[in-house]
Structure 1
Amino acid sequence: MNFDAFDLHPHILDAVSARGYQALTEVQVQVLPVAMQGKDIMACAQTGTGKTAAFALPLLNTLSKQLELQQSDAAVESLGEHKAELRVLVLTPTRELAIQVAENIQAYAQFLPFKTAAVYGGANMNPQRKAVQAGVDILVATPGRLFDLIGQFDLDLSNVNHLVVDEADRMLDMGFVRDIEKVKKLVAREHQTLFFSATYSDDIKTLAQKMLIAPEWINVATAPTASRITQEVYLVDKRRKSELLSELVGRNNWQQVLVFVSTKEGAEHLHTELKLDGVKSAVFHGDKTQGSRNRALEEFKSGKLRVMVATDVAARGLDIEALPLVINFELPFAAEDYVHRVGRTGRAGLSGRAISFVSPQDKDMLQEIEQIIELTLPCITLPGYEEGAPLPARYRDVVTKAVKEKSHNKRKYQEKRRSESKPRQGDGDKNRYGRSKSKAK
């Protein structure tokens, strides 16, 4: 089915054509007609399935029709200048997703007069504030920055009659439920709400039932991970993971690898290890400034970097065209996040590959993941990397150094405590006010 099968405005069809879109994806086929009717929707669809177009195109079409009614017949064909008014609000959990969604909507609206802006934390608020105050029709926002604008600059949401909650499951994970509930109270009383989630948990269903009115339930997530993604496990001693990663990157001449770790500290440590091995890499996590994250992402996309080491902040919202490979250096804390990590590859109908490094202590989490994705992943052990294999000298030295430093620091700490417990010269016998008893008399 093609986009012209729906009653979309010609300018929207022109924009879709300019983007090179042809046949609709499954989520677009199911969501478009329902969203165009103004109904509330709870849609479950994996990342990379065309969700943004699924909700953005019908909303742009609705704004276009409303504008046509307001303008004279002479201006209808051109959809001329109009005074921007905030009518559509899209909530996203992360900065990267907010930026990506806003860029996509701007592309879909390139032949329309509607203005779109993105507001998110980790960046200067002034340019964002000015953009919003200059007038926008569509605002894409992370909850924190949205409430900054509401609290500090009286941003008015009372005319918003289309609310989109993207990656609703991630919003729940990050504790944004109350923020969503607050937003629902601030928008127009009669409004359309569209929920999109990559997973269909009980919590998501409960929230949807609470916040949506007679919603249409759409589930196109037929498989927890796409069949076009090859998934496999490398069994490896935990201490040898960084060495194995460097060897695989070098041996296979991989040029673009997104590597997931569980913590910011782990990301920085792995980045250091890769530098020692001569592998060009960058880190991407929540403590990095937005500018640093953008720079790392652009260099990774352009091929200047072979590896980008990221925490789960990159598991959603990053759209890297034709990313060939994702590696789970460490399995996620929550099994559901595996789906989102793997979803960075194999997007837009392309094939992809996902590799997970698994140590004996990771076996329980691996079983949880396999239950969710309904697959038993093939396991590979490279000679020399199995559990109990002798450590190379480089790693023995590192371990020995760490033990010595720990012992040295412990001795220093104990010596400091002993010195602090001894009375200092001149302290003598003091009363509770710090004066010597002799003077107090």
Structure 2
Amino acid sequence: TGTGKTAAYLLPIMHQICAAKEKSLVNTLILAPTRELVQQIDQQTEGLAYFAGISSIAVYGGGDGASYEQQRRSLSEGVDIIIATPGRLIAHLTSGVVKLNELQHLILDEADRMLDMGFYDDIIRIMSYLPAKRQTLLFSATMPGKIRNLSNKLLNNPEQINIALSQPAVGILQQVYMAFDHQKLALIKSILKEGNYTSTIVFVSTKEKVKQLYQTLYRAGFKVEAFHSDLEQEQRENILRAFKSRQLPILIGTDVLSRGIDVEGISLVINYDVPHDPEDYIHRIGRTARAETTGTAITFINEKDQRKFSDIEALIGRPIEQIPLPPDLGEAPLYQPELKRAFNGSKKPWRKKKN
């Protein structure tokens, strides 16, 4: 997160495009999991290529018929770099409007997230349209077995580069609250009311929870929006634009927001639910304290998520400061992750005993 890998692969490709004696109809294809990441890569491409005369197009679904036709026209004329989500690209490939037989470079950005979102078959199908002789780069924040299987299919004797997982930025103040699920709503309201935070992202585990928490906070008078895949593309863009311009102070979403979406000046990240994967914790809290600024990351831990959070502490190599609940919220669960292991999922005495 935030290491500059987009420029690291774009700049050498642009150099090759500028130096080439003959132009390919399409030189480079970049696949990414979400519309937002596709748009962001396209914006970076436009910025870096501004004086180089290199053309690019963002190809993604969610728009109206006019946007689809605009994509068709641009693709049929030829373009140096295509940045696309797999599903929408397949629609253009099957219609015959885009030819990739002269492709030089294939980039799979956030490949692990693409597989999590069910794009494996789409990626394999796209490969059938590509020339065998090409350069393929696969970027992944994690390397589970499914990514290794994909790399074995796509890559020929690849050079593997492992970069150690980056630790959370020094400028992030990390804190946790032990809280039962029924205490979380009152706790987040208290934090948002009393804290002096100008820009906040709240991460929850599912799209349904995003909608529920949004409704609750909206009715409580908070200026908040929910960000999820059921929204129209224009709605998603408007919400992100308002959040980036500080017109919207609170944004609620799933882990889609933790990858690839670069917003400066986020002062608070709240993990309403503990992420399932410890590395996702680093991606989430990495939304704050970017570019040597400071920020706060607060995580709510219920009695069931203690084992997961102890794995996070093991990953970052230190315990995270625990903050007591406000007295009016009642007693919190004890932090006893070792009991979770010992009892192997059976009932535990989480509540503090009364004297």
TM-score range, shorter chain: 0.7 to 0.9
Contact 1:224 1:374 in 2 (8 A): no
Return 5+ residue gaps in structure 1 as ranges: 1-46, 71-82, 390-441
Q: Which runs of 4+ in 1 moved over 6 A?
A: none
User: SS of the counterpart of 2:297?
Assistant: strand
Q: Where does residue 50 of structure 1 map in the other structure?
A: 4
Q: Where does residue 343 of structure 1 map in the other structure?
A: 286
Q: Where does residue 382 of structure 1 map in the other structure?
A: 325
Cα separation, 1, equivalents of 2:62 and 2:104: 28
Contact 1:169 1:204 in 2 (8 A): yes
Matched residue type, 1:233: V
Cα separation, 2, equivalents of 1:349 and 1:56: 24
Cα separation, 2, equivalents of 1:374 and 1:179: 38
Is residue 296 of structure 2 the alignment partner of residue 353 of structure 1?
A: yes
Is residue 45 of structure 2 the alignment partner of residue 105 of structure 1?
A: yes
Contact 1:84 1:114 in 2 (8 A): no
Matched residue type, 1:119: V
User: SS of the counterpart of 1:186?
Assistant: coil
For normalisation by structure 2, the TM-score amounts to 0.86
What's the CA shift for 1:221?
3.0
Q: Where does residue 251 of structure 2 map in the other structure?
A: 308
Is residue 221 of structure 2 the alignment partner of residue 221 of structure 1?
A: no
Q: Decide whether aligned partners of structure 1 residues 150 and 210 sit closer, same or farther in structure 2, where only a CA change above 3 A counts.
A: closer
Cα separation, 1, equivalents of 2:201 and 2:314: 24
Q: Where does residue 245 of structure 1 map in the other structure?
A: 188
Contact 1:223 1:373 in 2 (8 A): no
Return 5+ residue gaps in structure 2 as ranges: 334-355
Contact 2:177 2:299 in 1 (8 A): yes
Q: Where does residue 220 of structure 2 map in the other structure?
A: 277
User: SS of the counterpart of 1:112?
Assistant: coil
**Structure with greater helix percent:** 1
Task: After superposition, give the CA deviation of every residue in 1:224-262 in whole Å (9 maximum; x if it has no partner).
Answer: 544443322111231121222121122122110011111
Contact 2:72 2:97 in 1 (8 A): no
Please identify, of 163-172 and 147-156, the stretch whose mean Cα deviation from structure 2 is larger.
147-156
Contact 2:14 2:49 in 1 (8 A): yes
Cα separation, 2, equivalents of 1:314 and 1:290: 15
User: SS of the counterpart of 1:54?
Assistant: helix
Cα separation, 1, equivalents of 2:141 and 2:165: 11
- Correspondence for 2:104 among 149, 154, 161: 161
Identical amino acids, percent of aligned pairs: 40
Matched residue type, 2:309: L
Cα separation, 2, equivalents of 1:141 and 1:113: 20
Q: Where does residue 117 of structure 2 map in the other structure?
A: 174
Is residue 16 of structure 2 the alignment partner of residue 62 of structure 1?
A: yes
Is residue 92 of structure 2 the alignment partner of residue 145 of structure 1?
A: no
Question: Highest CA radius of gyration, 1 or 2?
Answer: 1
Cα separation, 2, equivalents of 1:243 and 1:102: 40
Is residue 176 of structure 2 the alignment partner of residue 233 of structure 1?
A: yes
Task: After superposition, give the CA deviation of every residue in 1:59-84 in whole Å (9 maximum; x if it has no partner).
Answer: 00011110xx34xxxxxxxxxxxx77
Q: Decide whether aligned partners of structure 1 residues 348 and 165 sit closer, same or farther in structure 2, where only a CA change above 3 A counts.
A: farther
What's the CA shift for 1:347?
2.8
User: SS of the counterpart of 1:183?
Assistant: helix
Cα separation, 1, equivalents of 2:128 and 2:292: 39
What's the CA shift for 1:129?
2.0
Please identify, of 196-205 and 104-113, the stretch whose mean Cα deviation from structure 2 is larger.
196-205
Contact 1:49 1:347 in 2 (8 A): no
For normalisation by structure 1, the TM-score amounts to 0.70
Q: Where does residue 62 of structure 2 map in the other structure?
A: 122
- Correspondence for 2:231 among 265, 278, 288: 288
Please identify, of 310-319 and 205-214, the stretch whose mean Cα deviation from structure 2 is larger.
205-214
Contact 1:284 1:296 in 2 (8 A): yes
User: SS of the counterpart of 1:193?
Assistant: strand
Matched residue type, 1:49: T
Cα separation, 2, equivalents of 1:379 and 1:224: 19
Q: Decide whether aligned partners of structure 1 residues 54 and 348 sit closer, same or farther in structure 2, where only a CA change above 3 A counts.
A: farther
Aligned length, in residue pairs = 329
User: SS of the counterpart of 1:217?
Assistant: coil
Cα RMSD of the aligned pairs, angstroms, is: 2.1
